């Protein structure tokens, strides 16, 4: 009998992380039932990925979008429990660190189904981040913890919560798989702006973390440092996350650089390939920059992807930094990028499937 897995996704990075896994599961004959929690629901934050990445049609779409964290988690858990009973999977699989991740794990725990956590063990050691709480609790509940890096393995060991029924398996990063799988199809689209604009050196920027956008003073500081780069360094282009757009409008923050609505993954890969440097507070983008041979400046005080900082492919730009962003960009672009692959070989999805098949046999 084939393995049945109930996969929970709900936010943009999870659609991307899940794409290589779903493809490998299909080829390996693993039966997957995908539940979309509805955490991200705008077409450009959700539907575009199902189309572009050929993701499996969800078995069910829940409607948790727009709820506050606790209410969102409660609703997902309540909606998922009967689905878990109906599908009767061997495992519930969750990705990353969103509310949907933790809710998926809580529902599975409640129904007594073993949990698989892909991208386990990451820590920022910043307990202001809801993602940090989501990660820690999900790891504690999980039975199989697929980690992307040795730092993640070490974090799990240091916390000392592991019991004999939990397994930690370092498979590398499924986002590396996704970059390899989809970058040959990277493309420009008109909605990003004119093609000619992207043919000169530019900085690709994204900003969406609560710690940056949900505090007006911090949001103003981040935007004004990007304005400085745009006016005194190289032009900046930012696909604006819907919640950042809301905050910018609410606070009346002036943006001097180019923006577009959020773009699909193939467009994003194209923009990374074209740009001179990536400037971001996104977890995924820090790695994609490196996989595609670009320097990265991270608009945060710390990162979970410490390896890239250790090898100087990524430099943090903490809040309150006095160094202008234009100066930081200039000095980074003068440094060669190191050649190391800290996040596996780009076959994380195959290793995950292989491991599960071995458990089932």
The rounded distance, in Å, linking the Cα atoms of 223 and 243 is 14
Residues 152 and 38: their CA atoms lie apart, in Å, by 28
State the nearest-atom distance from the C-beta of 233 to ligand UDP, in Å. Answer: 21
CA dist 26 and 178 (Å) reads 16
Please tell me the distance from the alpha carbon of residue 361 to that of residue 28, in angstroms, as a whole number. 13
Per CB under 6 A, residues contacting ligand UDP are 12-13, 16, 206, 208, 239, 262-265, 268, 282-285, 288
Give yes or no: 165 in active site.
Answer: no
Distance between the two ends of the chain, CA-based, in angstroms?
10
What SS3 class is residue 67?
coil
**Closest distance between ligand UDP and the C-beta of residue 226, in Å?**
15
- Nearer to ligand UDP by Cβ, of 33 and 146: the residue is 146
Q: Alpha-carbon dihedral of residues 255, 259, 263, 265, nearest 10 degrees? A: -80
Q: Which is nearer to ligand UDP, 258 or 282 (CB)?
A: 282
Relative orientation angle of helices 174-182 and 12-28, to the nearest 10 degrees: 80
Which of 12/317 has CB closer to ligand UDP?
12
State how far Cα 140 lies from the chain centre.
Answer: 20
Q: How far is the CB of 15 from ligand UDP (least distance, A)?
A: 8
| Spatial distance between the Cα atoms of 111 and 329, rounded to a whole number of angstroms | 50
SS3 179: helix
- Options 40, 117, 208, 317, the catalytic residue: 208
Any idea which residues carry the catalytic annotation? 208
């Amino acid at each position: 009998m084939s393995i049945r897995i109930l996969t929970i996704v709900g936010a943009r990075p999870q659609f991307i992380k899940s794409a290589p896994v779903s493809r490998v599961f299909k080829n390996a004959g693993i039966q997957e039932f995908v539940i979309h929690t509805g955490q991200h629901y705008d077409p450009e934050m959700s539907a575009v990925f199902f189309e572009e990445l050929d993701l499996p049609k969800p078995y069910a779409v829940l409607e948790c979008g727009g709820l506050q964290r606790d209410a969102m988690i409660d609703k997902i858990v309540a909606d998922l429990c009967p689905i878990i009973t109906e599908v009767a999977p061997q495992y519930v699989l969750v990705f990353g660190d969103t509310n949907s991740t933790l809710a998926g794990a809580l529902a599975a725990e409640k129904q007594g189904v073993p949990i698989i956590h892909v991208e386990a063990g990451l820590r920022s050691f910043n307990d202001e981040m809801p993602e940090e709480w989501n990660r820690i609790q999900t790891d504690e509940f999980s039975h199989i913890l697929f980690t992307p890096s040795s730092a993640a393995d070490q974090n799990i060991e240091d916390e000392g919560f592991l019991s004999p029924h939990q397994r930690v398996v370092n498979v590398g990063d499924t986002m590396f798989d996704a970059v390899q799988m989809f970058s040959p199809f990277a493309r420009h689209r008109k909605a990003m702006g004119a093609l000619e604009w992207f043919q000169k050196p530019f900085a690709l920027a994204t900003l969406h973390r609560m710690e940056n956008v949900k505090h007006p003073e911090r949001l103003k500081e981040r935007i004004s440092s990007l304005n400085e780069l745009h006016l005194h360094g190289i032009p900046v282009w930012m696909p604006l996350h819907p919640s950042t757009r809301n905050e910018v409008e609410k606070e009346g923050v002036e943006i001097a650089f180019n923006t577009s609505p959020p773009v699909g993954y193939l467009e994003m890969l194209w923009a990374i390939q074209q740009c001179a440097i990536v400037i971001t507070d996104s977890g995924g983008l820090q790695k994609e920059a490196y996989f595609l041979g670009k320097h990265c400046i991270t608009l945060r005080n710390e990162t979970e992807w410490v390896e890239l900082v250790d090898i100087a492919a990524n430099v943090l730009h903490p809040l309150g930094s006095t160094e202008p962003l234009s100066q930081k960009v200039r000095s980074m672009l003068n440094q060669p990028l190191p050649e190391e692959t800290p996040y596996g070989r780009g076959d994380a999805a195959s290793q995950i499937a292989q491991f599960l098949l071995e458990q089932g046999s």
